[in-house]
Amino acid sequence: MLTEPFETILLDDRRVLHGVTPVTPAPGARAGVRDMLLVDFFPGTPR
């Protein structure tokens, strides 16, 4: 559980089950990449 600001989780994409379309290079490119930013919010404690 992340409890401190700026804590980070790194995942091995090859071992995580997910459903996405294949990455295909743009015309003329030799390789294609997919960058992902995952953001999760948890409800805070009411004051």
Q: For the chain, give the percent of residues with pLDDT over 90.
A: 6
- Local confidence band at 3 (pLDDT 50, 70, 90 cut-offs): confident
Compute and round to an integer the Cα radius of gyration of the chain.
17
* Chain position carrying tokens 């559980």: 1
- Asked if residue 39 has pLDDT above 80, the reply is no
* pTM for this entry: 0.32
